[in-house]
Amino acid sequence: MRSLDSIRKVRAQTVESLMMELSHIAQALTRSEAQYRAMKGQIQADTEAYAEQAGRGLTIEELLQWQGKLDAQRSALQQVRAAIDHGTGLWQQTQERLVEARQECKLLQRVVDQRQTAVRAVITRREQWAEDETASRRVFIRDRGNS
């Protein structure tokens, strides 16, 4: 019974740990998504500024600067997108592990409950046997005294 309790406590700690991990992953995803939106907005603004300047005419140097800047921004945006995708996958895997751990906790709790019920039933039967034995002795002693 003690080892079962130990296992149950370890699984409960695992559930707690996985919940904390999910919280950290969710926070990281929230930050990455905010960063992605901000970067996307900056790229949009820079693309509009580039189009406006290009309409007025650009030197080769300015054109290359704009292309380099926009390429770097798109590359950084792809990296953030990859981080979001990775975080989403990690969140799903951790969520699945959490569901499994919770199911194991419930199963272990059922086993503990069944064992406790069985122990109580044995104790109740022993107490009833002892009471029956005591009552039987009283009757025997009373009957002996009346004879």
Amino acid at 5: D
- String of DSSP letters for 59-105: -HHHHHHHHHHHHHHHHHHHHHHHHHHHHHHHHHHHHHHHHHHHHHH
Q: What is the pLDDT of residues 107-141, one digit of tens each?
A: 988 998 998 899 999 999 999 999 988 888 887 77
Extents of the domains making up the chain? 2-146
Distances from the Cα of 136 to the Cα of 32, 44, 124, 132, 147, angstroms = 78, 95, 18, 6, 17
How far, rounded to the nearest angstrom, does the alpha carbon of residue 124 sit from its chain's CA centroid?
41
pLDDT over 70 (residue 99)? yes
Q: What is the pLDDT of residues 30-46, one digit of tens each?
A: 999 999 999 999 999 99
Q: Does the domain spanning 2-146 belong to CATH 1.10.287?
A: yes
